[in-house]
């Protein structure tokens, strides 16, 4: 059953397999090492296969990044787990879960984050990719802001502060922690990352007392 007809699902499935090869090359050799030949070798195929499913290298890369975003973005493990585990209650626990989802707490998350961090160089030099990235982070901030508002309604976070600002700051915090953890994985095991995040959230909840001018 190999090399079959064009059932539409097969085509998209094959494109996803190719994207997985792209991920593997990116996470080990970086964008600098992303060549069509490297991806083809990773798949045990030829470059002809790649050009058959994608018009050019940019399309190959864009699709891989979009697919990676869908994987780790629209289906967060901790916010809405796939197994029987119930999701954390709305409000602060769910904000915490969403932020934990970003961190490189295991090897798979580290590989994904390594790709994401690596993509920043090429994205900042390519307006189209830059817009895609900016949109992604804006959407992520909005999602976090919803959790912040929930937490404020429940009294878990001070009600006076700007929810969007809190969400933006929280995302900045985890993004920066990702970078540091990738460069010094030995110094940033999962427990330390979690502890740092919890300390950050405690700082948000702590100064509650009423007015927050500004």
Contacts of 93 (CB under 8 A, 6+ apart): none
Question: If binding is defined by CB under 8 A, does position 96 make contact with a copy of itself?
Answer: no
Does 26 bind DNA (CB under 7 A)? Our answer is no
Q: How far are the Cα atoms of 71, 88, 89, 98, 106 from residue 85, in angstroms, in the given order? A: 19, 9, 12, 15, 19
Going by C-alpha positions, the residue among 137, 136, 123 that lies closest to residue 26 is 123
Write out the two tokens for 17: 């397999």
For residues 111 and 99, what is the distance between their CA atoms, to the nearest angstrom? Answer: 17
Instruction: Please say which residue, 28 or 46, places its beta carbon nearer to a copy of itself.
Output: 28
Q: Pattern 28-57, binding to a copy of itself, x per CB under 8 A?
A: xxxxxx------------------------
The one of a copy of itself, DNA, none whose footprint includes residue 46, by CB under 5 to 8 A per kind, is DNA
Residue 78 Cβ vs a copy of itself, minimum distance, rounded to whole Å: 19
| Residue 72 touching a copy of itself (CB under 8 A) | no
3-state secondary structure of 131: helix
If binding is defined by CB under 7 A, does position 37 make contact with DNA? yes
Residues contacting 62, CB < 8 A, separation 6+: 128, 129, 132
Which residues have C-beta within 8 Å of that of residue 191, sequence separation ≥ 6? none
Q: Which of 34, 100, 105, 201 binds DNA (CB under 7 A)?
A: 34
Instruction: At 211, list the tokens.
Output: 């007015």
Nearer to DNA, 48 or 86 (CB): 48
Q: Which residues bind DNA (CB under 7 A)?
A: 2-6, 10-11, 14, 34-38, 40, 45-52, 55-58
Q: Which residues bind a copy of itself (CB under 8 A)?
A: 28-33, 114, 117-125, 130, 133-134, 137-138, 161, 165, 168-169, 171-180, 182-184, 187, 195-196, 198-200, 202-204, 206-207, 209, 214
């Amino acid at each position: 059953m190999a090399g079959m007809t064009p059932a539409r699902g097969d085509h998209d499935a094959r494109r996803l397999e190719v994207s997985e090869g792209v991920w593997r090359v990116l996470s080990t050799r970086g964008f600098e090492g992303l060549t069509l030949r490297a991806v083809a070798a990773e798949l045990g195929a030829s470059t002809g296969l790649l050009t058959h499913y994608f018009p050019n290298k940019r399309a190959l890369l864009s699709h891989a990044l979009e697919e990676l975003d869908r994987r780790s973005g629209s289906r967060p493990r901790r916010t809405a787990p796939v197994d029987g585990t119930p999701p954390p209650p709305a409000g602060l626990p769910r904000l915490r879960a969403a932020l934990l989802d970003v961190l490189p707490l295991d090897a798979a998350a580290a590989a994904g984050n390594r790709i994401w961090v690596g993509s920043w160089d090429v994205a900042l030099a390519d307006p189209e990719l830059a817009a895609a990235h900016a949109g992604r982070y804006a959407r992520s901030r909005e999602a976090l802001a919803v959790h912040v508002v929930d937490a404020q309604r429940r009294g878990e976070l001070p009600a006076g502060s700007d929810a969007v600002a809190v969400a933006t700051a929280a995302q900045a915090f985890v993004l920066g922690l990702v970078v540091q953890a990738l460069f010094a994985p030995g110094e940033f095991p999962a427990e330390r990352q979690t502890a740092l995040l919890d300390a950050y959230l405690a700082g948000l909840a702590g100064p509650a007392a009423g007015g927050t001018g500004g």
